[in-house]
Amino acid sequence: MKAKVDRDICIGCGACESNCPEVFELDDESISIVIVNKIPEALEVGTLDAEEGCPVNAISIE
Ligand code: SF4
């Protein structure tokens, strides 16, 4: 599993970082970035929660 954040859509609310800080982090511009390339199995549920919790659907999962 891989996660991606669309920088043009992200509003920097920080919900994904709160939901799953092992995968998402706000960068210097307060836009979320994905800090792991391949999501480890143990973090898949948290990553999906973050995707669902994004208010603007900026997160996509492959
Ligand atoms: S939850 Fe969505 S809008 Fe909020 S910081 Fe994460 S990617 Fe951006």
Q: How many domains does the chain have?
A: 1
39 lines ligand 1 (CB under 6 A): no
Evaluate whether 50 touches 59 at the Cβ level (below 8 Å). Answer: yes
3-state secondary structure 1-62: CCEEECCCCCCCCCHHHHHCCCCEEECCCCCEEECCCCCCHHHHHHHHHHHHHCCCCCEEEC
pLDDT in tens, 40-62: 999 999 999 999 999 999 999 99
Prediction pTM value: 0.95
Domain span holding position 32: 3-61
**Ligand 1: centre distance to CA 60 (Å):** 11
Q: What is the CATH number of the domain that holds 51?
A: 3.30.70.20
20 lines ligand 1 (CB under 6 A): no
pLDDT in tens, 20-40: 999 999 999 999 999 999 999
